[in-house]
Amino acid sequence: MRVLIVGGTGFVGSHLVRRCIAEGHRVDVVARPSSDISRLTPVLASIGLHRLSLLDAAEVGHCLSETRPTHIFYLVGATKRRHEPGVAQAALEEAAGFLTLVQEAAKATSRVRCFVRTGSIAEYGVARVPFQEGQREHPDNGYAAAIVAGTYYAQALAPQLPFPLITARLALVYGPGQASDFLVPSLIASCTSGKSIKLGRPLDRRDLIHVSDAVDALYRMGTAGLSGGEIVNVGSGEAVGVAELAAIVAALAGADSTLVQCSAQSDPVTLQLSSARAEQLIGWRPRIDIVSGIKGLIAECRRGERVAAA
């Protein structure tokens, strides 16, 4: 396989890069000119890196001609800007870049066998759980609405494309290398350092999936011969309460449970995917439960502390 990973400098994307290298494939990564590539430092010698704007059709076309990918993975998202006022506009601009990439891939002389893009559990909004792929989305913010727009574009374009275009709707992914302002790493950092943390929405329940499991699902989707237009949920199938998660982290870290403080909340929201379709279509199910995943991250955190101290 000749794999092109768009967004390969990000959290999930960098893990997918390493998975594809380990499988023996040629890997090229597309990144914005301003992207931080530090997550890829250990594997830079093993990949091709292409810095460009997806809004520039000529640059995108040239990149595709140069790399001649058989498989394209699109993992571009505005998650790190998810709380900023302009996040919806940023997400719509990324949707425009996605459409440019699809258009140029369809025109490419080399044969693309599969194109996988990532969506999000946020697309479903506040709705009946567990979320099923066929139910109507109810996005409750601009960020989620923009991602839904990308999913609808993908479904509308799929019948006209010379390759299958598939959407993987990911649950809330956690694991090594995630930015520190996300829920799991912030809880671990607080509990291992003895600092207090306040939960803004302790009654919410979240479907959490380890990044290794998410990457395994993406990789399988790219090689399973799925039909174009498919939407496939990728989640644990379970929802853990935010306060419950904090208690798990504190217990595994050996921290005082009083470090975790909870705000008052009257409107709990549950985000939970059904991943039955993923098991049916690609034979995938998650392997890393939340306790095992948290244990591994705490151990990694403490290894890093020991190295820094030395």
Q: 66 is written with which tokens?
A: 């140069």
**307-43-177-277 Cα dihedral, nearest 10 degrees:** -140
Average pLDDT on 36-51 reads: 96
Question: Which residues are CB-contacts of 151 (< 8 A; sequence separation ≥ 6)?
Answer: 119, 123, 137, 167, 169, 231
Chain CA centroid to CA 43, Å? 20
Judge if 121 and 247 occupy the same domain. Answer: no
Chain CA centroid to CA 92, Å? 17
Q: Which pLDDT belongs to residue 93?
A: 78
Judge if 196 and 47 occupy the same domain. Answer: no
User: Whole domain around residue 22: which residue ranges?
Assistant: 2-174+209-234
- Per-residue pLDDT for 71 more than 90? yes
Average pLDDT on 217-234 reads: 96
Within a domain: residue 275? no
Judge if 60 and 199 occupy the same domain. Answer: no
Judge if 51 and 195 occupy the same domain. Answer: no
The CATH number covering residue 259 comes to 3.90.25.10
Judge if 164 and 220 occupy the same domain. Answer: yes
Judge if 226 and 301 occupy the same domain. Answer: no
- The model's pLDDT over 262-272, given as tens digits with 9 standing for 90+, comes to 999 999 999 99
In the block, residue with structure tokens 């960020």: 143
Judge if 13 and 83 occupy the same domain. Answer: yes
Chain CA centroid to CA 10, Å? 9
Domain count, the chain: 2
Average pLDDT on 85-98 reads: 74
Judge if 219 and 263 occupy the same domain. Answer: no
Within a domain: residue 280? no
Q: What is the pTM of this model?
A: 0.94
- Per-residue pLDDT for 310 more than 60? no
Give the SS3 label for residue 268: coil
Q: Which pLDDT belongs to residue 79?
A: 60
Judge if 139 and 220 occupy the same domain. Answer: yes
